[in-house]
Structures are given as structure tokens and as C-alpha cells.
A and B are shown apart, each in its own frame.
Chain A
Amino acid sequence: MVRTARCARWLSIGVLAAGVALGCGPRKGEGGAAAAKDPIRVGHFASLTGDTATFGQSADRGIRMAVAEVNAAGGVLGRPIEVITEDDRSVTEEARTAAQKLIQRDQVVALLGEVASSRSLAAAPEAQRAGVPMISPASTNPKVTEVGDAIFRTCFIDPFQGAVMARFAFDDLKARRVAILFDFKQDYSVGLADFFRKTFQQLGGQIVADERYTSGDIEFRAQLTTIRGANPDAIFVPGYYTEVGLIAKQARELGIRVPLLGGDGWDSEKTLEIGGAAVEGDYFSTHYAADSDDPQVAAFVKRYQEQNGQVPDAMAALGYDAARILADALARAGKTDGPALRDAIASTKDFAGVTGRITIDPSRNAVKDAVVLKIDNGRFRYHRTVSAQ
């Protein structure tokens, strides 16, 4: 009995000690000063698996390529950058946990992420609370940066992009009756459709059909048949490239001839690959034109293709720019602590990214021009620019 009791006592002490040791992981600010050659740790939380895995993986590839380039040129503040990527499995609360793990256990100085606005919204409060600056490369819901002054984004917000295409449809294409087909499960698509609808109606146009689909669907003929019956001048499809190609194909098969319009979710080779001849003559707004004269863009596309075997999509390009802006801000801040880095990011001005010249405005959103591209002869062709004003 005595032996058992002593066993039990030591066992419980051991367990308690282990628990405390595990729990009392280093908290922010207690790690001790980092040595000069220690890497600067940056966290990226993304959906590497789950139903939006393709976006998270793209963004990660873009980020890693940017960081590799920065490190090859000597790093920042004399130190290399180390990217730690955590998977949130496309689940909202996992984004929060992933961000927390990066902040608390990996002690990252900044966070990059996420593509999906809902996951950015879940993680942002944690970053704000810990004072760790967070840059979202692709979340377009205006609410994301409203969480706090440590949250930034380097992409358009829905109000801007929705209005761009609404005006383009009304002014350039002279469309007066437009049908909308949006992805009601994705915040991005819902938001864009909302703002397009508002702007287009304000301009005096009419929304003749408002249909929806879910990301992952492959059959759209039911909705397209209804749209066909409403006789629109154009169809706004603010979805992701994962569905757009098929939508266009099926629309053409049903005999729909009017142009399709979209947002930067279209920006991927897959749209051309899957859509083929069906997407000819369609337009979409995005950040940059791959056929632009800008040598930086061409070089980026070439390097990415060599390293990853595919042409970069919008997520990759946005991830690339977000990482580079972060590196640039680190260099300008001169140190890695939260407030200084935050201020440096906030004062980003005219940064030459591959997705445009980026300035961060007082609401911590990116101010950059949008370009409208036309799909012509199987390629994206620059059509016109819409300035950020």
C-alpha cells in the first residue's frame, strides 16, 4: 500500500509538472533577445487541405518564392526570413488555432493570411490582441481590416471591385439588363455580387436574374437555363476559377451568346484550360495583366512557372506581393517588434508589386488600380485600367 501510494504520488507530481511545463510555453516577449543571425520568423496560415486547398496552396507557393528571393539577396536586417506555414483545413475555427499556434509557440513577428475572409475574420482578433501585424493577401470583405490597427490587406475590397465591373458593364458594354450567377457559399462571391448589384442598379441598370450555386458544383445548366429565359445583355459571374470555366462551357452549350463578366477570382490558367473556346470574349477585373510590358511581372511569371510547373494564379501573385511588402516593411522598420512593424506596413507607399503599385490607405486596405482583361484568342489580354480613385 505504501509503495502504491508513493507511486501514485510521484506519478501525479510528474503529470502535474509535465502539464505545467507544457502549458507554460514561452509567451510573447519572454523568449530572450534573438541572436543576430537567427531567422526572422513569419507565420502563414492557410487552407492547405480541405475544400479550398487549391487557394491556400497557391498562396503558400507565392509566399515561399518571395521569401526565397529575399533571402537569396541577403535577407532582411541581416537575417534570413523563415516562413512557418500552418494548415487550417479550410475550417474557420482552425484558422484561429493556427494563428494562435504561430503567435504563441513559434513566436512569429508577423502573420500572412488568409485567403478566405471568414477565416481571416476568425484569426484577426488573435493577431490584434497579441500585437502581431497580420497581412491578408486576398480577403476582400471590408470587415477584415476593421478588426484592428494591426490588420492589413494587399488586395481589393469588394466595394471597389464590384463597382468596377458594374461600371464597366454599364459604360463600356452598354449593358442594361444583367443576370448574376454567384457562389452563395463563398464570402468573396456574395460580397462582390452585392456591390455589383447595388452599383449597377444605382447607375440605372436592371438585374434580370439572380441565381446562385455552391463552390464544388459542376452542374449549372439548371440555373443557366433560367438565366437564358430572362434574356440578359451580360452575365456577372463573380466566382472562382474552379467553377467559372465550366459555367462558361455549359452556358455556350445552352446557346447563351452574351459575354460573361467576372472578378479577380477568374485569374488563373484554369479558366482558360477548362473554359476553352467558351470563355472567348468574356471580361474580368483583376490586379495585373500577365501580358503587361512590366518586366517584373514577366520575370515573376517565368520564375514561378520554372519552380512550380504551372503559371501563377491570382492567389500566388497576391501571396508573393504580400510577403514582399512584409519584407520591405521589416527593412523600413529597422526592427521586428509589433508597433514598429505595424507602422512600417501602414506607411507602404507606391510599392511596385507584380499585382500593381500598392499603397496602404488609412483603413489599412490596399489602394491599387484594377485592370479589366478580355479573353481573346485563348489568352488574357489587357483591355483597360480602372484607377483606384
Chain B
Amino acid sequence: MVTLTVNGRVVQAQEGEMLLEVIRREGIDIPALCHHEAVEPFGACRLCMVEITKEAWDGWTNHVTSCLYPVEQDLIVSTHTPKVNELRKSVLDLQLARCPNSPEIRKLAAEYGVNETSFESKPDADNCILCGLCTRICDKMGFNAISTVGRGHGKEIAPPMHEAPPDCVGCLSCALNCPTNVIEYSDVNGKRTIWGKQFELIKCSECGKTTITREFAQALSDRKGIPIEYFEKCDHCHRKELSLTMGQVAGWSKEVQS
């Protein structure tokens, strides 16, 4: 166990935990766009910056990304000092210059008093902040369908060669976890389109409700050994089936008892 101070409160933390986890557990709200518990911390959005110091440091302070900084004994953490706020403000100013039309970034920037960017906005702006959360989740799930492409101002998130990614199974994890909701997809008439690839959604064999894509079910079946027929029905029809089975059991025992 490690003892540290967060905003004047003495807290306990496990060895090896990151500062952000401790701060969130204490109920202190600090912005973090690129963070997700499912994947390793990355430190891309730079919004979870905090000020750290120690008694032994003679008044010196340091500014670190809390998602990547492991807890230390006797560390003194401040999350909302004027300097930290100023740092976040300039990061948001830059992000607003990159994504002037993103409602999520605009809202966050407005909270820190940035209504218009002081830089020149990107001319062909999209809403991607290049945090790489989508690619990290895709890698974690073991599909590796998308990645960051190019360098510098030409960097972007894209499938290989900008073509329909062969490894994508259409699970939608990238799009649903994007902090700025920039990844476009559509579910129309039992077909899902994402990254320029079309997938067929499995239709429940009883009620016709669509569930996950056939490719995703096949991947789960191949990798995890789940029988493919489990995916043929929707969750509600599965429940109905279970209730009928239980009813049969109950009805049968009723006959026996009487």
C-alpha cells in the first residue's frame, strides 16, 4: 500500500496503480479523452495533466499525465491549480484548432473558458483528435483492422491502404468508444457499413431482430470455441426458450406431484 495526498486528502493506493485511477476513485473529475479501462494508458490527449510535488522536493513541482504516472509514497497531487488549468486550456485550444466542429471538444473547451481557438483552425477539419483509442481497442480485441497512418500533419486513423479492411469484423467497438464520435457507421436493412466494408448482421431465426455481424460471430466461434448456433437467435428469443424449458420442467413436476 502507498499513501499519497490528492487535493489535500490523504489516500491509500495499491502499488503500481496509476494516478488517474486514484483521482477518479476519490470522485475528483478531471477530463481524459483517450483513457479506457480496457486498454493500457497511452497519454495521447494530455488533458489528465496534474501537478505533483513532494515535501523533499523543496517547493519544486512537476506536471505529468496522471494516466501514465504510477503512484508514489508521499506524493502530493493537485488536480486543479491555476497552472494545471492553464495547461489544459492550451491543450484544449490546440484541440479546438484541430477539431473546430466537434461538439464534445467545444463543450470541454468552454468549461475551461476557451470558446474560440486562438490558433488558425485546420482548413479541412474532421473531428478526430488522433488519440488512437479506436486502434488500441481494436488491437486489444485482436483484430488489428485499423491503425494510425502517416506522420505529422498528415497523420490519420485509417484501414490499411485506405481500402476496406480485411481483418475488420464490424464489432463497432472503435466507433462506440470514440471520444468525439467521429467514426461513421450505419446499420440499415440488416447490413452494417463501417470503414467502407459491408457486413451482414445475423437475423434472429425466430423474430428477425438483428444482432451482431456474421463475421464477428464466426471470429468468436473460431477463437473462443463458442458454438456458432448460439448466435442464431436474439437474446429475447433465447430467454423465451429458457422460460419454456423451465415451464416444461415445472409442468412435468406438477403432474407427478398431483
A and B from one complex? no
Give the interface of A toward B (CB within 8 A): none
Give the interface of B toward A (CB within 8 A): none
